[in-house]
Structure 1
Amino acid sequence: MKQTITFIGAGNMAQALIGGLLADGHPSERLRAADPDPATRQRVGELGAIHVTDDNLEAVDGADVVVLAVKPQVIDRVLASIADALSPEAVVASVAAGIPVERLQRGLGGPRPVVRVMPNTPALLGQGATGLYAAPACSDEQRAAVRSLFGAVGAVVEVDDEALMDVVTAISGSGPAYFFALAEALARAGIDAGLPPDAARTLADRTAAGAGAMLADGETDAGTLRERVTSPGGTTAAALDQFSADGLPAIVARAVDAAIRRGRELGSAD
């Protein structure tokens, strides 16, 4: 029998996960979603014959896995709303950025099986990259259940040190925005050099998508792919040399460090 999975918060990420689970054959009667917004509940209901409600207590009653797909700013209120209704065997998976296991367990009334999870927006297309950390209270079966759930929408990487979840957030959670920013800058450079705006955006966007597909293939690492495109003394080499001269690696390192620090600030705020 498939496990009963409940989503508290039924926005885009929850909808992507529900869609992935249904596509993988998870029974719709074993899926539940709770959200205060009627329009969101309607959209979730259109995904399949799953149980949708505005009552968190109703949604978590008897659930095997509870996914907290909510913003960090409301996590404490959500934890308080479900603590008394959770089954002792239920595993709670939180996607709230920066919120540590200790705070999650405190909000649930004590040590419980809790997993911190950081998916990213490409999960909406089934191309996600998710990092997770499972608290020691989790059994192997509970960890596997959460891995399988997020594996329905992409790749999953597990870390054994909770502090690394802030790094996961900075690399893959926030990472899509970095690539979008590069695509924007590349299109702008093309426009400034004379290309029509539509042509510049199409070339930049499709180049980013194609490069991402080559990386996602997994057979060749990024460095080797870069080398294959770079002929000595050619145009690509000239551009990459300029990146290096302008300090691109250091810029990226500082950006990731800023994201890590902000994640830790969010996690420490009560």
Structure 2
Amino acid sequence: MSKTRIAFIGAGNMAASLIGGLRAQGLEAAQIRASDPGAEQRAKIHAEHGIDLFESNAEAIEGADVVVLSVKPQAMKAVCEALKPSLKPGQLVVSIAAGITCASMKKWLGAQPIVRCMPNTPALLRQGVSGLYATDEVSVEQRQQAEQLLSAVGIALWLDSEAQLDAVTAVSGSGPAYFFLLIEAMTAAGEKLGLSRETASKLTLQTALGAAHMAVSSDVDAAELRRRVTSPNGTTEAAIKSFQANGFEALVEQALGAAAHRSAEMAEQLGN
């Protein structure tokens, strides 16, 4: 990436996170450009990262090796169709817009090499995870560029098929909200057991953080970690049995299935 020139179409939160990650990795401000319709947002990103900002998308992508589409899915068709005349053959297009398929982008952009990505919101803290899928036109070097781009805000995992992005959306794209829901529920339950809201919240948050660190750093899987902290006839076992008796695993499977189904539905709706 030391000589790669990158242009961002849209300079919202996710783009700003990627720009910050790239700058932290040593990319020069001159290697990165961005466009955004909002004058205030352009000024903000320029002040934070020192890069050049443009109102015009066509100006922003001039000379870029990689064009990152970081606009709302509902705006992608119009943005792509307007951008098509300004793209150069072989310019890599990286999309981080949920629900927009490579086939739709090819229809709007022409035969550009395309990498479709599904990042998640912890990328804003550079703790994200992204699933990546590349079309056949993407070269080995361009795959490396896309991987390094998304790795600036977490980890990047390549997928064997584009259809797997629906599963990625269900597991990690929407996943942070599931954990937030569990945090809400545990905090509320702690209050009902007699703790103050502040104490219940701190206990829950630190437990979530500690458990995540243990799972990430451990050489065994989550099932084994759970077994190790579940003493026979103890308090943890009582809670786990209650979860399982009420269909916890089936509920999680059903919820992720609903998210994946909705992801596929959105791709069909937004791709027309």
Q: Could you say which TM-score interval applies, normalised by the shorter chain? A: over 0.9
Matched, 1:34 2:35: yes
Q: For residue 90 of structure 1, report the CA deviation from its aligned partner.
A: 1.0
* Map of 2:58 onto structure 1: 57
In structure 1, the partner of 2:117 is: 117
State the alpha-carbon separation in 2 of the partners of residues 85 and 139 from structure 1.
21
Deviation of 1:46 after TM superposition, in Å, equals 2.1
Structure 2 counterparts to residues 112-191 of structure 1, below 5 A: 112-191=112-191
CA apart distance, 1:219: 3.2
Could you tell me how far apart the structure 1 residues matched to 2:55 and 2:159 are? 33
Measure the CA separation in 1 of the matches of 2:215 and 2:57. 40
- 1:113 to partner: Cα distance: 0.3
The aligned residue for residue 105 of structure 2 is: 104
Gaps of at least 5 residues in structure 2 are none
The DSSP-based 3-state class of the residue aligned with 1:92 is strand
Mapped partners of 2:218, 2:238: distance in 1: 27
Q: How far does residue 218 in structure 1 lie from its aligned partner after superposition?
A: 5.4
- Name the aligned partner's letter for residue 22 of structure 1: R
- Supply the distance in 1 between the matched residues of 2:247 and 2:54 (Cα, whole angstroms): 51
Size of the aligned set, in residue pairs, is 269
Runs of 4 or more consecutive aligned structure 1 residues displaced over 3 Å after TM superposition? none
Q: Which residue of 2 aligns with 1:248?
A: 248
For 1:233, what is the secondary structure of its paired residue? coil
- Residue 14 of structure 1 deviates from its aligned partner by 0.7
1:125 counterpart letter in structure 2: L
Tell me what 2:201 maps to: 201
Q: Secondary structure at the match of 1:33?
A: strand
Question: Where does the alignment leave 5 or more consecutive residues of structure 1 unmatched?
Answer: none
The answer to whether the 8 A contact 1:95-1:118 is kept is: yes
In structure 2, how many angstroms separate the alpha carbons of the residues matched to 1:89 and 1:137?
A: 8
Counterpart-to-counterpart distance in 2, 1:219 and 1:90: 41
Alignment partner, residue 84 of structure 1: 85
Aligned residue number for residue 3 of structure 1: 4
1:168-214 CA-to-partner distances (Å, cap 9, x unmatched) read: 01110110000010000000100111110111111111111221222
d(CA) in 2 for partners of 1:67, 1:118: 13
Read off the aligned partner of 1:244 and give its amino acid letter: Q
Give the Cα–Cα distance (whole angstroms) in 1 for the partners of residues 218 and 122 of structure 2: 17
- In structure 2, how many angstroms separate the alpha carbons of the residues matched to 1:53 and 1:219? 47
Match of 1:145, SS?
helix
Asked if 2 retains the 8 angstrom alpha-carbon contact of 1:2 and 1:27, the reply is no
- In structure 1, distance between residues paired with 2:144 and 2:91: 13
1:81–1:219 Cα change, 3 Å = farther
Report deviation, 1:234.
Answer: 1.1
SS of residue paired to 1:47: helix
In 2, Cα distance between equivalents of 1:197 and 1:143: 47
Distance of aligned partners of 1:15 and 1:218 in 2 relative to their CA distance in 1, 3 Å threshold: farther
TM-score norm. by structure 1 comes to 0.97
SS at match of 2:232: coil
Secondary structure at 1:162's aligned position in 2?
A: coil
2:20 alignment partner in structure 1: 19
Please, what TM-score do these two structures have when normalized by structure 2?
0.96
Distance in structure 1 (CA, Å) of the matches to 2:248 and 2:64: 47
In the aligned structure 2, how far is the partner of 1:71 from the partner of 1:211? 33
Q: CA RMSD in A?
A: 1.1
- Report the identity percentage: 47
* Matching residue's letter, 1:79: C
